[in-house]
Chains A and B, each alone.
Chain A
Amino acid sequence: MFDFLEGYDVWGAFWTTVQLTLLAAVGSLLWGTVLAAMRVGPVPLMRGFGTAYVNIVRNIPLTVIILFSSLGLNQTLGISLGADDFKTINFRLAVLSLIVYTSAFVCEAIRAGINTVPVGQAEAARAIGLNFTQVLMLVVLPQAFRATVGPLTNVLIALTKNTTVASAIGVGEAALLMKEMIENEAQLLLISAVIAFGFCCLTVPTGLIFGWVGKKVAVKR
């Protein structure tokens, strides 16, 4: 029944999906945290930049961002991100675009997390003489992250699903493989079931595991 899978690298495609997800997740967590810090910081210009970034980026479709990076960064400006073959270049461009897009949502999640930290925590930290960076790094962010596990998990799951958009610039991940298989094989329902099952295997455990982690690390108030 599943012998049509013989000629296709299903594992490879899903491995690409996983790689895209993990690299973009780490990148957007870092950049999103920096953006969130800018948005709550004392420097008005940085606050403005953070707000503008989030409002612009999250209102542009990811597809547009990915096409921009391929047509603009790569084909027009000739940026190849240190790769020399077509496949690697597009993979890295896809990771970059996913980071640019996802970090806006990470920033919003972390900012919401910061808002769950009681005001008294920051006031106490300021009272013992900590400056803004110390208040944020030592007192507020650690508590905020514990409250943000749930929303960040949502962002991570959305990111996993968003990696399929990379097929628009020919990155060989699961959605592109699905398109290719449907064109060549007759078993539409089976192919779709395999791909759908693959994504369920990625997203459902993520939700369950991080849901458990989120409850575990939540600050009891």
Chain B
Amino acid sequence: MSSVLYDAQGPRAKRRNVLYTALFLVALAALGWWVYTSLDDKGQLAWPLWKPFFSSTEAYSTYIWPGLQNTLEAGALAMVIALPLGAALGIARMSDHAWVRVPGTIVVEFFRAIPVLVLMIFGLALFAKYTDVAADDRPFYAVVTGLVLYNASVLAEIVRAGILALPKGQSEAAQAIGLRKGQVMRLILLPQSITAMLPAIVSQLVVIVKDTALGGAVLTFPELLASAHPMSGYYGNILASLTVLALIYVIINFSLTSFASWLEARLRRRRKSTGPVLGGQDVVNIAGTAATAADPTGSTAGIGDFGGTRK
């Protein structure tokens, strides 16, 4: 679409574009210069502040790597628990029985409406009051609890969209050869939809990695971001530390994002249509959720996803 928004450029348009480029470059350079001089004035660009990250691996092995390990551990554990839970909730929402469908819907919509930080704070207090989890372990448990509750409900919607997007003929054929409802879901629908959901699931990992940072900032969970405290305390370089940490987050998440879009492009190329889909009109609406998740818009999935692409 974007290339049809403007004509092929003639000599005048080309000159104008050069002018715009120059003006924009000047603006960017001015901004950069302002940042540079103000940082320099405060002595933030002094080499000793940045040296720990370039000259030796000490900063990485002592502070960053343990934090990163905690981040990845909490994220992986949350994903492993949230995936089956989300699948169960998503399938429950499609049940024929109202007594399964209604509670499933309420649980999913409730946890998507609550900020993940609120869930984490709740988890922390819950473990402190009602369990004998050691005080040191509580933040980890709290972060994982919050991530699981939130992401299970997001994954439930992804699973639901994935299953509703399958061709109708798949379940009809399965029923025709005499499979029961559970068998249709377990043997025919779920395995097929899992491949379709993979990109959305991978990009949900980005959300999880970003959300662990909340645990570090608010709950004293010693993850990647929290390593900024002891590290900048030791080297006296809070801005440099934060910059390096931000860069690490970008590298991890950008690779996940790129992997997800590569996966999606690959699956799209392979996809063959075998007829109209299960959910008919509905799938357009819910697919919006999956599309939003596949195009990792952070924790954007929320209540009332009426969006979606129109054909």
Q: Which A positions have Cβ atoms within 8 angstroms of B? A: 39-46, 49, 55-56, 58-64, 67-68, 71-72, 76-77, 101, 105, 108-109, 112, 114-117, 119, 122-123, 126, 131-132, 135-136, 140, 147-158, 160-165, 167-168, 174-175, 178-179, 182, 188, 192, 195-196, 199-200, 203-204, 206-208, 210-211, 214-215, 218-219, 221
Contact = CB atoms under 8 A, between A and B. Distances in A.
A131 B12 CA distance: 13
Interface string B296-311: 1111111111111110
A163 B299 CA distance: 12
Interface stretch (B132-140, B179-187, B245-253): B245-253
Contacts of A76: 39, 42, 44, 238-239
Main secondary structure of the interface of B (DSSP, over half): helix
B262 interface: no
Contacts of A221: 310
A126 B6 CA distance: 7
Nearest to B289: A154
Most chain B CB neighbours (cut-off 10 Å) among A149, A151, A215: A151
Main secondary structure of the interface of A (DSSP, over half): helix
A45 B23 CA distance: 10
Given A161-B114, A165-B117, A64 B305 contact: no
B48 to A, nearest CB: 16
Most chain A CB neighbours (cut-off 10 Å) among B24, B116, B253, B298: B298
B17 interface: yes
B239 A71 contact: yes
B4 A43 contact: no
Contacts of B298: 58, 62, 101, 105, 158, 162
A111 B35 CA distance: 30
B257 interface: yes
B242 interface: yes
A6 B303 CA distance: 31
Contacts of B30: none
A121 to B, nearest CB: 9
B113 A199 contact: yes
Contacts of B302: 153-154, 156-158, 161, 203, 207
A44 to B, nearest CB: 7
A100 to B, nearest CB: 12
Given A112-B295, A204-B303, 15 more contacts: A45-B24, A59-B250, A61-B211, A61-B214, A62-B210, A67-B217, A108-B295, A126-B6, A135-B6, A154-B297, A154-B305, A155-B300, A157-B304, A175-B121, A218-B310
A116 to B, nearest CB: 6
Nearest to B44: A76
B250 A56 contact: yes
Contact of B249 (A60, A148, A179): A60
Interface in B37-86: 38-39, 42, 44
Nearest to B126: A188
Contact of B122 (A156, A165, A192): A192
Interface string B141-166: 00000000000000000000000000
Contacts of B28: 49
A41 B9 CA distance: 12
Contacts of B20: 43, 46
Listed from nearest, the 7 A-B pairs whose CB atoms lie closest are A150-B307, A207-B304, A157-B302, A207-B303, A59-B253, A61-B213, A211-B306
Nearest to B251: A59
Nearest to B215: A63
Contact of A203 (B13, B129, B303): B303
Contacts of A158: 297-302
Contacts of A119: 1, 4
Nearest to B239: A72
B253 A44 contact: no
Contacts of B228: 67
B300 A122 contact: no
B42 A77 contact: yes
Given A63-B225, A221-B310, A77 B38 contact: yes
A167 B116 CA distance: 13
B216 interface: yes
Most chain A CB neighbours (cut-off 10 Å) among B2, B225, B238, B288: B2
Contacts of A55: 254, 257
Contact of A162 (B295, B299, B303): B299
A40 B5 CA distance: 8
B113 to A, nearest CB: 4
B110 interface: yes
